[in-house]
Amino acid sequence: MIEKHIILEDIDPVVFYGVNNSHLQMLKSLFPQCRIMARDNVIRILCDGEDMAKIEESIENMRLHVLKYNSISDEDILDIIKGHQTKADAVKDVIVYNISGRPIKSRSANQQKLVDAFNSSDMMFAVGPAGTGKTYLSIALAVKALKEKTAKKIILSRPAVEAGEKLGFLPGDMKDKIDPYLQPLYDALEDMIPAARLQDMMDKHIIQIAPLAFMRGRTLNDAIVILDEAQNTTPAQIRMFLTRMGWNSKMIITGDLTQIDLPRDQKSGLKEAIDILSDISGITVVDLVSKDIVRHKLVTNIVNAYDAYDRRKTEVKSVRRRHATPEDLVGEIDTDMIREN
């Protein structure tokens, strides 16, 4: 008999083995002529030559299935061993699968534009209101690149800008103070990568999450780099971030210009960067709108209501300026105009 050791790389062995090792027991029943033992992420097999080749192929195909879908069922195992197409394979245009096996894909024409831009451009700006999937879709694209080994790491960043609460008064050390600002990034990753595997990737710095201030001086090679909430960067900050881009890297910059938390007299770096860079070859700007919102239906209504309110407010200001005397305008500081410019 031949003995071989197979290492389950890039996946969570617990998912592969199943609850109470049910998948492993099923594999043993399907290959009764072989002795199969498992410890941690190593499977030990004793088998004759012809049977060994078959079980090696089956285990590798099972591993690839778990890597792609983050799950595997008894039915999937049977289909894989029999050489049939699994049910999951029938789903088209999927970016990745979440930890429960649900397909993650674009859900609107503008979201698909972001997916297409990722395939054709090295730098993308995704701009739109809350709930349009900018961050979630961007992280899904990054996870896909990591799984397909077209990138070696994912780097996620956000500016730590106070939105009413003071950072210094939050409890804990620096990491404890910063983590709440980065929680949406953790949430998206936890939905797409099993917890044990995610922790391992973060420990090995394959996935890195850091405040924007920690980017200075770095050169980011072989990476998918995402800057989230970029509307809260200053022009100097976003310029610093964009020039971190290294070889074989892609950057996605997301933001919502209607939710700027900077001081009232501070210009948003995101708007300035789009104005300066949008005509450069290799850079794509994708605008998402209220119809792309994929949260609760009320979010679309809320966004539309605020947009209408902002338009009315702008119209009232315009009327007031047209009827104002020069004396009325002396010393006036229009912070909204400063932000727009």
Q: Nearest 5°: phi and psi at 116?
A: -65, -40
CA distances in angstroms from 81 to 33, 68, 97, 331, listed in the order given: 15, 17, 22, 78
The predicted model scores a pTM of: 0.74
What is the C-alpha to C-alpha distance for residues 151 and 142, in angstroms, rounded to an integer?
A: 8
Q: With contact defined as beta carbons under 8 Å apart, do 259 and 233 qualify?
A: no
Among 171-175, 208-212, 249-253, whose mean pLDDT is lowest?
171-175
- Give 298's pLDDT tier (boundaries 50, 70, 90): confident
pLDDT attached to residue 339? 46
Yes or no: say if 125 and 274 are a contact pair by the CB < 8 Å rule.
yes
Q: Quick one: pLDDT band at residue 163, thresholds 50, 70, 90?
A: very low
Distance, CA of 340 to CA of 319 (rounded, Å): 18
Please indicate whether residue 143 or residue 50 has the higher confidence score (pLDDT). Answer: 143
Mean pLDDT, rounded, for 193-222: 88
Sequence-separated (6 or more) residues with CB below 8 Å from residue 249: 122, 151, 220, 221, 222, 223, 224, 225
Question: What is the tens place of the pLDDT at every residue in 32-58?
Answer: 888 999 988 899 999 887 788 888 889
Q: What is the rounded distance in angstroms from the CA atom of residue 50 to the CA atom of residue 15?
A: 27
Q: Is the pLDDT of residue 72 over 70?
A: yes
From the CB of residue 8, how many other CB atoms can be counted at a distance below 10 Å?
21
Q: What's the rounded mean pLDDT across residues 260-265?
A: 83
Per cent of the chain over pLDDT 90 is 37
Annotate 309-333 with b (16+ C-beta within 10 A) or e (fewer): eeeeeeeeeeeeeeeeeeeeeeeee
